[in-house]
Amino acid sequence: MPSPLVLASASPRRLDLLSRIGLVPAVVDPAEIDETPLKQEGPRPYALRLARAKAEAVAPRHHGAFVLAADTVVACGARILPKAEDADTARRCLSLLSGRRHRVYTGVCVVAPDGRLALRVVQTVVGFAVLSPDRVQQYIDSGEWDGKAGGYAIQGMAEVFVTGLHGSWSNVVGLPLRETDCLLGGLGFRRG
């Protein structure tokens, strides 16, 4: 009998992405951790630290399971952009990203039933067109930005902002599928 998969995230986007590769977690158990960046912490180590902290917080509650956790960070230079919780934050993020390239990092962590742990951080470079104030307002009015890192969701209306993408599209959505599949397989996860 294969060990179950536990997703340490409440993100419906991650559930959808996993289903695209035939993975349906037996349990969804989001980690409740402090996500405040540490002083002088860069976006790559921040994404990795949070993914590991989430997996390690949830794993003790699910003996005999594989626990998968991830954290996605949008960065403009060394600056970590927040998850947009209000329209003003989303507007500031979009204005900053307008006409520029930025990076999206997702830290992925898998804890195996025997306690072994595998980590990876994946980077995707995304280019945005210059966004007029009217275009930004249209996007704000859509509400798609709500709760999204960097104030946008590439899998929705914001896809028209993208002038170029180098790396994994699913990484920008919230879970790099190729790397996640490799981490699970490397620790011995077998599909049921």
pLDDT at 2: 81
Report yes or no on 53 lying in a domain: yes
pLDDT at 16: 96
Report yes or no on 192 lying in a domain: no
Distance CA 59, CA 68 (A): 9
Number of domains in the chain: 1
The CATH number of whichever domain residue 170 belongs to comes to: 3.90.950.10
pLDDT at 192: 67
Residue in 62, 65, 3, 76 with CA at minimum distance from that of residue 31: 62
State the DSSP H helix or E strand holding residue 79, giving kind and residue range, or none if neither: strand 79-80
* Catalytic residue annotation: 71
pLDDT at 42: 96
Distance CA 174, CA 15 (A): 10
Residues of the chain with pLDDT under 70: 192
The amino acid occupying position 176 is P
- Structural domain harbouring 94: 5-187
Report yes or no on 44 lying in a domain: yes
Report yes or no on 61 lying in a domain: yes
pLDDT at 139: 97
Residue in 150, 149, 147 with CA at minimum distance from that of residue 98: 150
